[in-house]
Amino acid sequence: MKIKRRIRKLLSLIVLSVIILSFITTSLFLINSFSTNKTSTMFKNPNNQLKSQASYEIFYSKEWLEDNSFNPPASAWNNLSDGDTSDVNASLLGGEGRFEVLGEQHTFNESWDLTNPQNQTDWELDTQPKWAYYDPNIDPNNIYPDLKEKNSSGLCASHYWEEGADQIAVVNWNHTVNMNDYGVDSMLDYNITSASLTASFYAKVQATVSEDEGGSNEFTGAIDVLTDEFIDSGVNDSNGQPFQGQTGDFARFFVLISDTEYINHEEVAYFQSSTLGQDIPEIDEISNGMMITDSEEDLISYINNALQNNYINFTISVGIYIKCEDNFAQDADNWTLLSITGLNLTFTYKKIIDKGTTLSWQQTGDQINSSQYSIINATLGFEYKVDQDWLNATNSLNSELRIIINGSQYSETLELRNAPTSFQDAKTGGFDITNLINYDVNISLSIQLYLADEFDLEQKVTVSIDNVSLLIWYKEEKQEQTTDYSLFMNGNDRTFSRYYEVGINELVNVSFNYKNSTGGFIQNASVILQGYGAPQNLDEDAQKELYNITIDTALLEFGESYFSISASKFTYETIDIDITINVVKRNSSLENVELNQIPTTSISLDWNDELNITLSYNDTLENSFIANATVELIGTGISEVFSETGNQYNLTIILNNIAIGPNFLTISASKENYSIATQAITITVNEKDTQMEVRLNGTTTTSKTYNYLDIINFTAIYEDSDSNFISNATIQLRNGTSILDNFSELSSPDRYELLFATTGLVAGANTLSIYAKKDNYSISVKNIFIYVEEIGTKLKLFLNENEKEANEVERITVSQSINITIQYTDKSDNHLTNATVYISGAGFTQDNLTEYPLQERYTKILNGADFNQTINFLTVYAKIDNYTAQIISFVVEIIEGNSFCELLLDGVNKTDDPTLEITINTILNISVIYTNQSGLHIQNSNITLIGEGLSLDIPYNNSKGFNILLINTSEQLSIGVNLFTIVAEGTNYQTQTIDLRLILRRINIQINPIIHNETISTTPFHSFEISVVLNNTDFGGLLRNATVTFSWAFGVGFLNDTDDDGIFTTTLTGVPQGTYTIRISGDGGDNYDIESFNIIVSVIIPEETFLITYLTLIANYLTAQEETASFRRGLIISIVAGVSVGAGLTSYLLIYRLYLRYPPEIRRLRKFRKSLKRKNIPDVKVTSRKEGFRSTLNQLLGREFQTKVFKKFK
């Protein structure tokens, strides 16, 4: 069964592979074929060999849409919108289909100077005065102030109140705003985003009482406010009545915004006087007063509420509310002039774009007949962009472009937040919409803009699409007659290659033989050539049985041109072939190249020489001269055009603008319809040869001796190879590469001169050079040898203040120092200061001595520890410019110093007993303290641990002050004894060694039981559990991941740690009577030493349960047999039950009572105890329980039964 299933699975995989391979092959073929033609095209086998006579498939690739590029008027396309259609608009512009999201932003900004009569005409007196706390129960006809008018002071009110009149007076003027006047049809489609309002007023009142023309007993009213101490009663204030009003007299200027029905109204600005009319100090006027305006947020909210009625109109009201409090019996208040002088209201509002609005460009194409065609693939492609960053402009995260085919939405959408700002493909390779194309219905495409969020938009955002293409691949199956063909180009058979190469301006005659299945010529067929302008029919020549057309290569471009020939006739198989004509330029060449009349392409000339180049440019095929060509010489720093003379091209140039050295130039010749011919030439330009004469103090020579402080007159005459003096050259006196000075050019005669003091040179031999150079001339160098005689010197050496002769020996210990003093003088014993005095040798490299000018000496102190050798040869060198050098040598012998060495192992001093036992998997710290007699660390010492195949440096630890090495015992030591030697060496110190003995042992693991102790007592056939843990006695904890086994008389087994808790357990069952030693062992790997552990198990049968136990033993034996032994089992049961059981068991019980109930060890002890009564020591023979049991049953029951019982028992 398994083999059959595997065969079926293998066959399924083979079939699936064939299907996949066929699909890939077909797909590649279709893609190859369809990719070159966007219009409906038929594709067939290009070799025309594997064609079916019964039927064939015609594959079509058709662009299903018209006007892919939205060229106006784009009649094939129509647009459709849904939702708030005022939010979107479809347009055509620049060959794009546009989705316009119509954002707008307007600003309402009206400022009224209410002191200007022209502005006052916008404001009408409210016949029913209103205010913020309007009470409709108040009769408006009795609430106006005494005077209310528009004048040059603004919208004004004056009021005089006296006892008995109404205490409230109100007047307001209204202006209704029509948003149609501001380019808005309805504010329902707009959102106010910002708003501001300012309002100004003027107030003049009578603050204190005054007599009027009626006499002293009468007075005009005055305003009483809360800040007045006394009421304005017409008497002296100091004798007046104290002011006791609740509110005082006040005027409240206000601005209201409401709907035209005054259903929703809010006070948006106000000013309520509190100190206007105060007596002391007197405040009777407020000029240029400004009202308090609500917050921008509230103002926007009030305007929106006011527009709720019809979303077009709202009313602005400005007014004055006067409150006259009755403060005493004959109170009167005089409000001289209250006016509102100005108002400005500004708010900005943006277009609201509604969620769910859609706009689509759609087109409906032809049907695909299901009975005739099969759809292979449909791919939709288009380009799209947004004219600005969509997210920044709209803040709409979810809006997208959708694709809808025949009313079904395609699964993929284009999120506009990721849309590009320049045209790009909506998807590389297009959208595969094959599953949405239905048969027998007109195929409709809709590209839909879906606005998925509501947002404010201040300007128009345009989403554009272009180059929309719906390519549908489908096929048709028909029956037709088979055909074949032959192809000839200029008489050459090209049936199989279909390729022809021809030169420009030549004609190519293409002949095509269209044949039926018998090879006969098919007349009156349609044979069309495509790719040569408009499709052209081939002319039929029935006599020659050919269709012909001539192609003029002058109308083709250079390179390969691709054509197709399609031959078809009703009922005949159509043949489509591709042909390639490769139009090449006419070959040309450059010949007869001459440089200065020499046939060569390489020449060497001097700078400023003349170079003449002649050549001919020929047609290779006809070997004729090509006239009127462009011939150029091109290279770095040069671009020259040849002139045509006769049958050659000629060029002459002067080599003064070309680089010195090899110049690799190219001659290039070209003419239309000819290949470019080139020739590389090499022009090597050499510098002009020069020569130079040198004079020293007027003498023509190149060597001379001078005294220190002399002046040398250098003269140089620099000429070319024609003995012409070279002016404006660079002439330098050099010492090696260093420039000492520059020469000056002089005339009469022409020369270069330099005056130079010998103080600028060193004493002794000076090798100088005079360097002369000018561009394009060769360098001329003359070597000059000047010898400057030095001044004589003397040198004395002092070591530790004792004068020494050359090569004397000075002995010191490593802890001592040596003072080296030098006296460096001239012949007159004058100290030479600023000299170079240094010591070298024995590891010292020109260590300078320090000058002490007052003591007229040079000194350096060296420590004995600075020397690396016992015998050190040193040399002192002294030199100052222009004075002779002095050298003296001497020897320093270092006497070796005492040293001491201590060893610490893991911080414990083990110098006297360098032995340590360590455990594997630890890090051992080896510390060595190597000091001198003063107890200081010996610098630059080397301490090494050597042994057991290792040689390890023990590095110095700066923070500890001694050398430390950490040893990984697992990686660098071996189990057992490891012997090492520690060697401590220091220059000029005694070498110390310590023999180190490291004993590496494994980690100790102890097996401990956790349930029983070392003994277990149980009864036969009862299960018991053994559980142990592995204790790490070195580091603590339990060892896991170990292998724990046990072994005993019945074999071996494993203890398992199933819970990974470190407890290893096993359960033993069916153990017979007896005493057993179970040995438990462990293996934890090479790094652990696990000690074995023994458990003694004693299995004893109690007397009272012996019979039951024995019967259980027999039953276990019987039930363990196979089914085929049923007869034998019945027989054995009969024998046991009928004959043996009674007698046998009785006998066995007696034997057991006397002998077998004791374990073997006890039986041996009892037998030995009895033998103690004898005079001779008996021979003790130990019989095992198993053997005793078997012997007794042999006698009582017979051998066969006993053997089977013991086999089962075992």
pLDDT band at 509 (very low <50, low <70, confident <90, very high): very high
- What is d(CA 830, CA 856) in angstroms, rounded to the nearest whole number? 9
Give the lowest-confidence range in 4-18, 170-184, 365-379, 434-448.
Answer: 4-18
Whether residue 7 is predicted with pLDDT greater than 60 in this model: the reply is no
Q: What is the DSSP letter of 687?
A: P
410 Cβ contact list (under 8 Å, min separation 6): 380, 402, 403, 404, 431, 433, 436
Average pLDDT rounded to a whole number, residues 691-711: 89
Average pLDDT rounded to a whole number, residues 556-567: 90
Whether residue 1178 is predicted with pLDDT greater than 60 in this model: the reply is no
Average pLDDT rounded to a whole number, residues 602-616: 90
- 647 and 607 in a common domain: yes
- 526 and 429 in a common domain: no
Q: Residue 635 sits in a domain of what CATH number? A: 2.60.40.10
At 1112, give phi and psi (nearest 5°): -60, -40
Average pLDDT rounded to a whole number, residues 804-820: 87
pLDDT band at 533 (very low <50, low <70, confident <90, very high): confident
Where do we find the tokens 């090495």?
A: 965
- 654 and 726 in a common domain: no
pLDDT on residue 220: 60
- 249 and 337 in a common domain: yes
Whether residue 225 is predicted with pLDDT greater than 60 in this model: the reply is yes
pLDDT on residue 1074: 86
Q: What ranges make up the beta strands (E) of 1120-1185?
A: none
Average pLDDT rounded to a whole number, residues 29-44: 36
Beta pairing, strands 780-789 & 703-707: parallel
- 279 and 162 in a common domain: yes
Determine contact, residues 597/642, Cβ cutoff 8 Å.
Answer: no
Average pLDDT rounded to a whole number, residues 85-108: 92
Q: How far is CA 93 from the centre of its chain?
A: 41
- What is d(CA 754, CA 777) in angstroms, rounded to the nearest whole number? 22
Whether residue 1034 is predicted with pLDDT greater than 70 in this model: the reply is yes
Give the lowest-confidence range in 194-208, 224-238, 667-681.
Answer: 224-238
- 339 and 306 in a common domain: yes
722 Cβ contact list (under 8 Å, min separation 6): none
Domain count, the chain: 9
The region that residue 1060 occupies, defined by phi over 0 for left and psi between -120 and 50 for alpha, beta otherwise, is: left
Query: Domain for residue 118, yes or no?
Result: no
Beta pairing, strands 730-735 & 332-353: unpaired
Q: What is the DSSP letter of 1162?
A: H
The one-letter amino acid at 948: E
Largest CA distance in the chain: 175
Query: Domain for residue 1150, yes or no?
Result: yes
Query: Domain for residue 600, yes or no?
Result: yes
Whether residue 492 is predicted with pLDDT greater than 80 in this model: the reply is yes
pLDDT band at 233 (very low <50, low <70, confident <90, very high): low
DSSP SS3 for 1166: helix
pLDDT band at 964 (very low <50, low <70, confident <90, very high): very high
Beta pairing, strands 836-841 & 285-290: unpaired
pLDDT on residue 867: 82
Of 1099, 1129, 1151, which closes a domain?
Answer: 1099
pLDDT tens for 1093-1116 read 898 888 887 766 555 555 555 555
Average pLDDT rounded to a whole number, residues 643-665: 90
Of 871, 889, 907, which closes a domain?
Answer: 889
760 Cβ contact list (under 8 Å, min separation 6): 740, 741
Query: Domain for residue 682, yes or no?
Result: yes
pLDDT band at 165 (very low <50, low <70, confident <90, very high): low
Of 410, 441, 476, which closes a domain?
Answer: 476
pLDDT band at 1173 (very low <50, low <70, confident <90, very high): very low
Where do we find the tokens 């192809």?
A: 487
Whether residue 1165 is predicted with pLDDT greater than 60 in this model: the reply is no
- 634 and 512 in a common domain: no
Q: What is the DSSP letter of 1169?
A: H
With CA atoms as reference, report the closest residue to 599 among 584, 583, 615, 610.
Answer: 615
The answer to whether the pTM exceeds 0.85 is no
Query: Domain for residue 134, yes or no?
Result: no
Where do we find the tokens 């040569």?
A: 532
Greater confidence, 131 or 76?
A: 76
Q: What ranges make up the beta strands (E) of 933-1056?
A: 942-947, 950-953, 956-957, 962-968, 976-986, 989-1001, 1003-1009, 1015-1018, 1024-1032, 1043-1048, 1051-1055
From the CB of residue 348, how many other CB atoms can be counted at a distance below 10 Å? 18
With CA atoms as reference, report the closest residue to 734 among 686, 677, 782.
Answer: 782
Query: Domain for residue 48, yes or no?
Result: no
Q: Residue 378 sits in a domain of what CATH number? A: 2.60.120.260
Whether residue 1049 is predicted with pLDDT greater than 50 in this model: the reply is yes
Q: How far is CA 891 from the centre of its chain?
A: 68
pLDDT tens for 1144-1160 read 444 445 555 555 555 55
- 905 and 882 in a common domain: no
The pLDDT > 90 percentage for the chain reads: 47
Determine contact, residues 129/170, Cβ cutoff 8 Å.
Answer: yes
- What is d(CA 201, CA 208) in angstroms, rounded to the nearest whole number? 22
Average pLDDT rounded to a whole number, residues 4-9: 48
The pLDDT > 70 percentage for the chain reads: 82
Cα-only R_g, the chain: 62
Containing structural domain, residue 931: 899-990
Query: Domain for residue 1055, yes or no?
Result: yes
pLDDT tens for 1036-1045 read 888 888 999 9
pLDDT tens for 166-224 read 678 899 999 999 999 888 888 988 999 999 999 999 999 988 876 444 434 444 668 88
Chain-wide mean pLDDT for the chain? 83
pLDDT on residue 583: 86
- 531 and 553 in a common domain: yes
pLDDT band at 1205 (very low <50, low <70, confident <90, very high): very low
- What is d(CA 259, CA 316) in angstroms, rounded to the nearest whole number? 9
- 349 and 359 in a common domain: no
At 1114, give phi and psi (nearest 5°): -65, -40
- 759 and 737 in a common domain: yes
Whether residue 688 is predicted with pLDDT greater than 60 in this model: the reply is yes
Q: What is the DSSP letter of 434?
A: G
- 359 and 349 in a common domain: no
Give the lowest-confidence range in 169-173, 662-666, 786-790, 998-1002.
Answer: 786-790
Highest mean pLDDT among 253-267, 891-905, 930-944: 253-267
pLDDT on residue 1067: 87
Average pLDDT rounded to a whole number, residues 611-621: 89
Average pLDDT rounded to a whole number, residues 44-56: 44
Query: Domain for residue 825, yes or no?
Result: yes
| Helix ranges restricted to H, 758-843 | none
